[in-house]
Amino acid sequence: MLDIAAGRIKPSANDPRIWVRSADEFRKLMSDKNVNLLSAIRNQHPNSISELAQNIHEDQGNLTKRLKMLASFGLVELTEGERTRGKRAVVPRVPFDRIIPPAIDLTVQAQ
């Protein structure tokens, strides 16, 4: 993972697309709350973060922070949508329909 991040090797098409440093980090990323959020986006196809916040009864500011974090891992795509009230909406999308848990490399010595 570190070699890919540093650009020393290029991942193949079959390599994972989301990299985490540990099983703990993966568990935190894939909390029930985040999995439910990803499912809501995938199933409801909201036209904006505001619409999603209303649908799932969550504060828009906190939701935006979570979506940006999930986007940084490639779990959510945030694209520009329709203009409303002088601003462009940000549209969340989930570009997949399942998540396969990571393989854990037992040859790497824990530090």
What are the pLDDT digits (tens) for 2-35? Answer: 555 566 767 666 655 676 777 788 888 899 999 9
Residue 5 lies in a domain: no
Count the domains in the chain. Answer: 1
pTM above 0.85, yes or no: no
pLDDT digits (tens, 9 = 90+) for 60-70: 999 999 999 99
Residue 39 located in a structural domain? yes
**Beta bridge partner(s), residue 78:** 92
At residue 84, the pLDDT reads 73
Domain assignment present for residue 1? The answer is no
Residue 100 lies in a domain: no
* 3-state SS, residue 46: coil
Q: Is residue 107 part of a domain?
A: no
Residue 50 structural domain? 26-93
Could you read off the pLDDT of 34-78 as tens digits, one per residue? Answer: 999 999 999 999 999 999 999 999 999 999 999 999 998 889 999
Measured torsion, CA atoms of residues 45, 46, 48, 52, in degrees rounded to the nearest 10: -130
Residue 69 placed within a domain: yes
Domain of 83: which CATH number?
1.10.10.10
Residues 6+ apart with CB under 8 A from 20: 26, 29, 73, 102
Average of per-residue pLDDT values in the chain: 83
Is 37 inside any structural domain? yes
